[in-house]
């Protein structure tokens, strides 16, 4: 039986594209839909390139359960947050227990929580003087970045690294590992 994924993304969509591409020729896994809360987000063009339906839902749609109804209708095996910046409502977590995962651009529990995304994380890592950073793939619960950790990968940092070079190193890890970890979760 084919496993079904729905991707939620707010921005450019490079991780979403890597996931869609990874599963494009799979008979075991299908990306059903991409959902974004941001009109004009790059993820729409990336999904269109692969023929994956992409839907815009404004923030209010998450609060009124319109998105929850959409998800219930599609019955996904996994909901993947790939650069999605809204907090997932508790009702979603209760309806899809251990079926919502997120990728975070740092080694949690460091640099997690409200407001800690993208360049904010990389600036904090740089300012701390840490000699390594990485990615964390985790289950989503009702709190920012506090769900059970599924996978982590790290990369070394040099004193000369700026937030932009840190971001480049972290993106390489995301693109390398996120689709593979999703595949492993779906095969369990």
> Of 10, 32, 31, which Cα lies nearest the Cα of 22?
31
Neighbouring residues of 69: CB distance < 8 A, sequence distance ≥ 6: none
E strand segments, the chain = 3-8, 29-36, 54-56, 78-81, 100-104, 132-139, 149-156
Active site residue 104: yes
Which run of H or of E encompasses 46? helix 42-49
Contact 92, 60 (CB under 8 A): no
Alpha carbon separation from 67 to 1, 95, 116, 146 (Å, rounded): 25, 12, 24, 23
Query: Which among 104, 138, 171, 175 is annotated as catalytic?
Result: 104
Catalytic residues: 104
């Amino acid at each position: 039986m084919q496993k079904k994924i729905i991707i939620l993304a707010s921005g450019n969509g490079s991780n979403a594209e890597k996931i869609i591409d990874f599963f494009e020729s799979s008979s075991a896994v299908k990306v059903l839909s991409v959902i974004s809360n941001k009109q004009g987000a790059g993820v729409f063009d990336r999904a269109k390139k692969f023929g994956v339906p992409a839907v815009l839902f404004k923030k209010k749609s998450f609060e009124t359960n319109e998105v929850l109804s959409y998800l219930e209708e599609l019955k996904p095996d996994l909901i993947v947050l790939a650069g999605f910046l809204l907090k997932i409502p508790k009702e979603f977590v209760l309806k899809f227990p251990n079926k919502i995962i997120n990728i975070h651009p740092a080694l949690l529990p460091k640099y997690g929580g409200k407001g800690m995304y993208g360049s904010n994380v990389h600036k904090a890592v740089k300012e701390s003087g840490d000699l390594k950073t990485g990615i964390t793939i985790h289950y989503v619960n009702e709190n920012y970045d506090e769900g059970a950790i599924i996978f982590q990968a790290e990369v070394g940092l040099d004193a000369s690294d700026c937030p932009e070079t840190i971001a480049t190193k972290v993106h390489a890890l995301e693109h390398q590992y996120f689709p593979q970890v999703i595949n492993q979760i779906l095969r369990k």
